[in-house]
Chain A
Amino acid sequence: MLNKQELSDLILKWVPEATFSEGTQLMEVIVPADKILSLAEELKNNKETAFDYLISLTAVDFTTHMTVVYHLDSTKYRQLIVLKVVLTDRETPAIDSVTAVWATAEFHEREVFDLFGIRFNNHPNLQRLFLEDDYGYPLRKDFRDEINIIER
């Protein structure tokens, strides 16, 4: 099992643009959007990292930008890592799908698309999961449901 330093060196070798957040609960890597798929493949297929289990894939809307957050675990080493991708374009956010790497990503990505409106390139079936097609994207901070929303 790699320690934190070895793991970050390895990631920097694959993606030199990656940056690491300081003082976070879990190890956190911020990756450019066009490198996420190649990094995901490396992290999963490399024998020393073996991040074969995608715990959760979600997004956060920070009003100026959106962040897609990947929580990864390795069933071999039981090591956790968080990948983050910052999307500055809030109007038409798009990112590569990682369905080819982890099958569960297909449905987590559909959920993120449904609730945030982030498009995933090369997704096999990018349809809304919970809501109707003409509903807005409710987890965006500027979403307003005039009838049901409770303001605090």
Chain B
Amino acid sequence: MSEEIIKDVIVKENEDYIINMGPQHPSTHGVLRFEVCLKGETVKYIIPHIGYIHRGIEKMCEANTYQGIIHLTDRMDYLSAHINNEAVCLCVEEALQVEVPERVKYIRTILDELNRLASHQLWWCAFGMDLGALTAFFYGLRDRELILDIFEESFGSRLLHSFNTPGGFMHDVHPNFQKRTKEFITYFRKKLPEYDQLLTGNIIFQERAKGIGYMSAEKAISYGVTGPSARGSNVACDVRKIAPYSAYDKVEFNEILKTEGDTFARYQVRMGEMWESMKIIEQLIDNIPAGDYTAKMKPIIKLPVGEYFKRVESARGELAVYIVSDGNKTPYRMKFRSPNFSNLFIMNELTAGGKIADLVAISGSLDLVIPDIDR
């Protein structure tokens, strides 16, 4: 080899190696691109590039009525569509000072928790698959189907239901709703321990998930991380506890907190939340009051001039809706503070200095849904 070629090789060895992970990478769970800078197998830094699925939902809201906006919010975080719908409805109801019937409050809370269960189940299968456990995927999806069947029976759609409307619901739930939900809870109480046997106790899985992606409580707060990801670092940020809405003030449940702050802690928080969700549903399902499925609302909703802010706990963290109204039937400005947007940008802090193989596990543990980031 001539001297120049040797020199060239030495220079190349010392250079940073930049690769793109995504936008079509299976473990990013959507169109997200990480620009990863590597030194050997070690990650030096990563830069998330977003905007591939930006649809301008906030701009679209400015041209839509409040009833119409509900259908756009489904498309942000499609795995907790019901919770997104509810956030807008609660904000509008609070602005109009409408008291919704007790029946609506109870059913909304049950649907929230069913939605959270379905979302955590899908996260569990995808997280298992990210780390190479394919069987987990089949277990999780098998049980999630049952929740989606309950949704389908009541709303006519499985994923993007748009069932909420300001004041209540579009129509009443199906007569079978109570029976099927109870059947599902009995079934899933038996099946959830299987999840633990399959994955949580698996030594290969634990070795891959423990001790990586450490997030301190200060970092989590400063980066605005919320939801199960922050609760894995012992940040008590559950909006259901801080500012209870719907029927959350009537139920007993624990806020799952872990102190370790690593990927495995975030995993354990979500697993614990599934038990808590079932507990909440069990407390409410037998006591749904009879009554109307909606409050009396005018067909055209006009919010009084002013600004309104409402936060709810979605499956991934704190979702906040901010409406500026000028008294017309469409909002003047609408802002969604989506949980994933804030959760994403701590990725660089969590992965820098670690190995590239851990990057997939860490991004999986944050449970990112990309359309919610881009909006």
Q: A residues touching B (Cβ–Cβ < 8 Å)?
A: 24-26, 52-56, 58, 60-61, 69, 71, 75, 78, 80, 82, 102-104, 106-107, 111, 115, 129-131, 138-139, 150, 152
Contacts and interface: CB of A to CB of B under 8 A. Distances in A.
Contact of B342 (A60, A104, A115): A104
Contacts of A102: 222, 224
B222 A104 contact: yes
Contacts of A111: 341
Given A55-B318, A55-B337, A106-B345, A129 B237 contact: no
A131 B54 contact: yes
Contacts of A138: 56, 59
A129 to B, nearest CB: 6
B187 interface: no
Nearest to B343: A104
Contacts of A106: 345
Q: What DSSP secondary structure best describes chain B's contact surface?
A: mixed
Interface stretch (B247-255, B327-335, B359-367): B327-335
Contact of A130 (B51, B307, B332): B51
Contacts, number: 76
A24 B322 CA distance: 13
Contact of B306 (A25, A60, A104, A115): A25
B307 A25 contact: yes
A102 B219 CA distance: 10
The 10 A-B residue pairs whose C-beta atoms are closest, nearest first, are A104-B224, A130-B51, A56-B337, A130-B54, A103-B222, A58-B335, A60-B333, A107-B345, A103-B223, A152-B63
Contacts of B221: 52-53, 75
Nearest to A52: B221
B235 interface: yes
Given A75-B237, A78-B242, A152 B51 contact: no
Contact of B50 (A52, A69, A130, A139): A130
A26 B50 CA distance: 32
Q: Which of A56, A69, A102, A138 is the most central at the interface, judged by chain B CB atoms within 10 Å of its CB?
A: A56
Given A71-B322, A138-B56, A139-B59, A54 B309 contact: no
A131 B375 CA distance: 12
Contact of B235 (A26, A54, A75): A75
Interface residues of B, number: 36
Contacts of A139: 58-59, 333
Interface string B270-309: 0000000000000000000000000000000000001111
Given A52-B221, A55-B320, A58-B337, 8 more contacts: A24-B306, A26-B309, A60-B324, A71-B309, A71-B337, A107-B342, A111-B341, A130-B51
Given A104-B224, A138-B56, A56 B320 contact: yes
B75 interface: no
Contact of B332 (A58, A60, A131): A60
A126 B127 CA distance: 33
B311 interface: yes
Interface in B21-78: 50-51, 54, 56, 58-59, 63
B224 A55 contact: yes
Nearest to B324: A60
Nearest to A28: B307
Given A104-B345, A130-B374, A55 B311 contact: yes
A111 B56 CA distance: 12
Interface string B336-370: 01000110010000000000000000000000000
Nearest to B51: A130
Contacts of B224: 53-55, 102-104
A53 B230 CA distance: 12
Nearest to B48: A107
